[in-house]
Amino acid sequence: MRVGELAKRSGVPVPTIKYYLREGLLPAGVLTSPNQAHYDEEHLRRLRLVRALVDVGGLSIAAVREVLAAVDTRDDSLHNKLGAVQEAISQPGSVELDPLAVRDVQLFFARHGETECADVAESNVTRMLAAALSAARSVGHDHFEELLDPYLEGMRLIARADLEYIARRGSSDAVIEAMVVGTLIGDAVIKAVRRLAHVQVSREVIGDGFDG
């Protein structure tokens, strides 16, 4: 198909597709003449993935490019790919880290047998965690780290469902994409579901009111 049809089938305007091509989010089509190119279903699929990452995942164009680079790397273990994707989707945020928050993160990791994370600043994920705890401290929540263990427990439940879901996918390509989708779209779903859980649990604990 040509770019017009790609636009029609994806709902993305032609100039935007051209922009994505320029930015390297979408591989170039196969040129059949100096000014004619062919796109296939794979292009359509990739384009929809880009839109999902941007619209639902809230990623910047640069972050999408990083994620796709990780997805496309052929000579890498699944484990490394997942790590690269996670790094790409965890933007630092430029919060200065409170040493006490850093210590809390280190203790948390040590408590759960993760010894590799000696330097918190090394990974975006740990830095994000430290930044979040720093922010909590800055607004007077000195013991937010108490929530880390319960959060991990809840997340283990969710991670088991995630892995089952991923394992059910067949090919390696599909597994990688499932990880990206599961991680990013999953984050959005989790946010929404958390709201429902708050309402339900508060009803269950306090009664039907929860009106303070």
Partner DNA sequence: CTGAATGGATAGCGGTACTGTCTGCTATCC
Partner DNA sequence: GGATAGCAGACAGTACCGCTATCCATTCAG
Under the binding rule (CB under 8 A), the answer on residue 95 touching a copy of itself is yes
* List of E strands, the chain: 30-33, 36-38
Asked if residue 6 lies in contact with residue 39, where contact means CB atoms within 8 angstroms, the answer is: yes
User: Which member of 1, 37, 61, 82 binds a copy of itself (CB under 8 A)?
Assistant: 82
Shortest Å distance, C-beta 16 to DNA: 4
| Sole window of 18-26, 82-90, 149-157, 194-202 interacting with DNA (rule: CB under 7 A) | 18-26
Report residue 135 CA to chain centroid gap.
21
Site for a copy of itself in 150-169 (CB under 8 A): 150-163, 165
Q: How far is it, in rounded angstroms, from Cα 70 to Cα 142? A: 37
Shortest Å distance, C-beta 177 to DNA: 20
Under the binding rule (CB under 7 A), the answer on residue 14 touching DNA is yes
Shortest Å distance, C-beta 43 to a copy of itself: 13
Burial class (CB in 10 A: 0-12, 13-18, 19+), 46: buried
Under the binding rule (CB under 8 A), the answer on residue 170 touching a copy of itself is no
The token pair that represents 165 in the structure block: 């879901």
Shortest Å distance, C-beta 11 to a copy of itself: 7
Q: How far is it, in rounded angstroms, from Cα 43 to Cα 41? A: 5
* Amino acid making up residue 177: E
Sign (positive/negative) of CA torsion 146, 151, 154, 156? negative
User: Which member of 44, 52, 56, 61 binds DNA (CB under 7 A)?
Assistant: 61
Which positions lie near DNA, rule CB under 7 A? Answer: 2-5, 13-16, 18-19, 21-22, 28-29, 31-37, 39, 54, 60-62
